[in-house]
Chain A
Amino acid sequence: MRLLIAFALVLGLAGLAYLAGRARGNRMVTAAGGRMGAVHSRPVYHGAYVAVLALAPALIVLAGWGIVGEGLIEGQVLGSLSAAERPAPGNDSEALLNEVRGLVNGDLPQAFNPLAPRLAPVYAAARSNGDLLAGALAVALLAMGGLWGWSRLRPDFRARNRVETQVRALLLVASVVAILTTFGIVLSLIFESIRFFQLVSPVEFLTGLQWSPQTAIRADQVGSTGAFGAVPLFWGTIFIGAIIAMAVAIPLGLMSAIYLTQYADPRVRKWLKPILELLAGVPTVVYGFFAALTIAPLVRSFAVALGMTNASSDSALAAGLVMGVMIIPFVSSMADDALAAVPRAMRDGSLAMGATPSETVKKVLVPAALPGIMGGVLLAVSRAIGETMIVVMAAGLAANLTANPFSSVTTVTTQIVALLTGDQEFDSAKTLSAFALGLVLFVMTLILNIYALAVVKRYREAYE
Chain B
Amino acid sequence: MNQNPAIGHNTVPKMTARDVNVFYGQKQAIKNVSIDVSAEHVTAFIGPSGCGKSTFLRCLNRMNDTVDGARVEGRIELDGQDVYASGMDVVQLRARVGMVFQKPNPFPKSIYENVAYGPRLHGLARSKTDMDEIVESALKRAGLWDEAKDRLNESGTAMSGGQQQRLCIARAIAVDPEVILMDEPCSALDPIATARIEELIDELRGRYAIVIVTHNMQQAARVSQKTAFFHLGTLVEYDDTSSIFTNPKATRTKDYITGRYG
Contact = CB atoms under 8 A, between A and B. Distances in A.
Given A266-B68, A348-B105, A349-B107, A354 B63 contact: no
B231 interface: no
A353 interface: yes
B94 interface: yes
Interface string B88-112: 0011111100110101011111000
Interface residues of B, number: 27
Contacts of B91: 354-356
A345 B105 CA distance: 6
Interface in A340-379: 343, 345-356, 359, 363-364, 367-368
B171 interface: yes
B186 to A, nearest CB: 16
B172 interface: yes
A363 B105 contact: no
A259 to B, nearest CB: 16
A437 to B, nearest CB: 42
A368 B94 CA distance: 23
B66 A348 contact: yes
Interface string B62-95: 0100101000000000000000000000111111
A440 B233 CA distance: 66
B121 A346 contact: no
Nearest to B69: A266
Interface string B188-217: 000000000000000000000000000000
Interface string A270-306: 0000000000000000000000000000000000000
A459 to B, nearest CB: 11
Most chain B CB within a 10 A radius of its CB, from A353, A355, A356 = A353
A346 B101 contact: no
Nearest to A265: B68
B168 interface: yes
Nearest to B181: A352
B108 A368 contact: yes
A299 to B, nearest CB: 42
Contact of A353 (B92, B109, B175): B175
Given A359-B121, A367-B108, A368-B108, A353 B172 contact: yes
A351 B101 CA distance: 12
Contacts of A345: 101, 103, 105
A354 B122 contact: yes
Contacts, number: 63
Most chain B CB within a 10 A radius of its CB, from A266, A345, A359 = A345
Contacts of A353: 94-95, 98, 117-118, 121, 171-172, 175
A368 B106 CA distance: 12
B61 interface: yes
Contacts of B61: 352
Contacts of B93: 354
Contacts of A351: 63, 66, 94
Most chain A CB within a 10 A radius of its CB, from B101, B106, B108 = B108
A352 B107 contact: no
A6 to B, nearest CB: 63
Interface string B165-176: 000100110010
Most chain A CB within a 10 A radius of its CB, from B92, B95, B107 = B107
A353 B118 CA distance: 6
Interface in B94-142: 94-95, 98-99, 101, 103, 105-109, 117-118, 121-122
Nearest to A357: B66
A368 B108 CA distance: 7
A23 to B, nearest CB: 59
B104 to A, nearest CB: 9
A355 B114 CA distance: 13
A353 B113 CA distance: 13
B105 A346 contact: yes
Nearest to B113: A363
13 contacts: A266-B68, A343-B105, A346-B107, A348-B63, A349-B105, A349-B106, A353-B175, A354-B92, A355-B117, A356-B91, A363-B107, A363-B117, A364-B107
Interface of A: 266, 343, 345-356, 359, 363-364, 367-368
Interface of B: 61, 63, 66, 68, 90-95, 98-99, 101, 103, 105-109, 117-118, 121-122, 168, 171-172, 175
